[in-house]
Every structure is written in structure tokens, then in C-alpha cells.
A = this chain, B = another copy of it.
Amino acid sequence: MTEIARYLQVQKDLRRSIIDGVFEVGDYLPSENELSSQYDTTRMTVRNALNNLEAEGLIDRKKGKGSLVKLKRKSIELLSIKGFTEIMKGKESKIDTVFLKEPEPRKWDDDFYWGLSEEELSAGCIHLSRIRMTENRPIMVEETFLSNIDLIEFCSTPFVNKSLFDTLIVNHDIEMIRVVQKFRAIRATQQLADSLDLRKGYPVLEIIRKLETTKPGFYVYSFSYCNTNDFTIEA
């Protein structure tokens, strides 16, 4: 395998340890001196790696104290559903996710919203549809399209933690690195009205997203429709 810079190796390794739960949120990493012994390198090389993890927001360093793990990973893909009564409480609703349509391979629609590369076009996509509910009330419908590139056994393997993104990380080593998202208020179609348990024509929040990943040329596309009568969506 290609040899990468020492500090990048340390950075990847530590990042992986945080993601895999070797170090949990709230834990302190080994000290810089300990890490430099462990990786048989200098404290400066270790600090270079830690600087990057800090810039990424995963750790918080404090002189005299240590390097505290603050995040497992930067979840830029997260959309938080927040009820109004919770804003003051800072508590998030319990969200249940159910498949309306299990992941399956298919061709791209001719009029797909986003421009697609030649590679994506020829590979086709995997489509899945989910509905999110809180207290048994549907609040979000989400259609997701993935380029069907190297996703071995994706459709036949159950999701990790019922999460598409956890599944991509754990099973395919693919992580989201950048997101473009667009918002609109639209009138509910009959189909959306049925899914979201509201009246046709009622305002629905549409979120159109393109997520760039660590795998070059591989994107995740999603279209979400939300009943925001009792909730806001935080992005």
C-alpha cells in the first residue's frame, strides 16, 4: 500500500479510533508525549495530526489538561428535527425511521434534478425511500439516490444502526465531506399529503441535497419533504 506521510497516518489512526469507539466522546486522548512514543515519532509530528483533528472539530485541547474527544465524527449530513416545546429544553424528539421502499438498484430518472457524471450515469443508482415519525406521527419523507458504484451487497445488507450514513462508513468506508442543500416551501401533492398525514395543498418544506463523499466521484442525493407545522428543521 502507498506510504503516506507520518502525521497523516497518526491522524487517520486517531480518527479511526474515535469513530470506532476506542476513545469515546468525553474521553481524553493519550498525551502528546505518550502518542509520540506509541507512534515512534516526534511530538511535533503528533501535534500536526492533532491540530487537524481539532480543526475538524473532533477534539478540544486545553493547556495543562489534555485533548478531549468532543465528537465521534463531523456529521455534516445531519438534519435535526426540533419541536417547538423542545427549543427551550434543548431536547431532541425520538425519531423513528421506517422504509417506505427498501434500497434497490434502478436507472436514473431522465429528468433527475442534479447534473450527473458519465460514470454515475452508466452505473445507475440505488434508490430508497424512508419516512420519519415522532410519536407515531409522520413528519418527514425522504427519497435517497446513491450512485451504484462499488456498493457490493448494499441492497442485501441491513443498515447499520438503521442509518444510511453509518452503513456507508462502516461497510464501505465512505464518509460525507461536503453538502449542498436547497430549501423550498411547496404545496403538498396528494401523495405527500397521504404520506405525511396532512391535507393536499398544505405547506411542506422541501430539502434538496447533494452530499459529496470521501470517495471521489461518488455522491449521495436526497429529497426530503417535511411537515413543519409543529417542528423546525435545523441544518
Chain A contact residues, CB within 8 Å of chain B = 51-52, 55, 82, 87-88, 113, 115, 180-187, 203-208, 226, 228, 231-235
Contacts and interface: CB of A to CB of B under 8 A. Distances in A.
A232 B208 contact: yes
B234 A182 contact: yes
B88 A183 contact: no
A228 B206 CA distance: 10
A188 B39 CA distance: 60
A74 B99 CA distance: 38
Contacts of A204: 185, 203
B207 A186 contact: no
Contacts of A207: 183
Given A183-B207, A184-B231, A208-B232, 18 more contacts: A52-B55, A87-B113, A181-B234, A181-B235, A182-B233, A182-B234, A182-B235, A183-B183, A183-B233, A183-B234, A183-B235, A184-B228, A185-B186, A185-B203, A185-B204, A185-B228, A203-B203, A203-B204
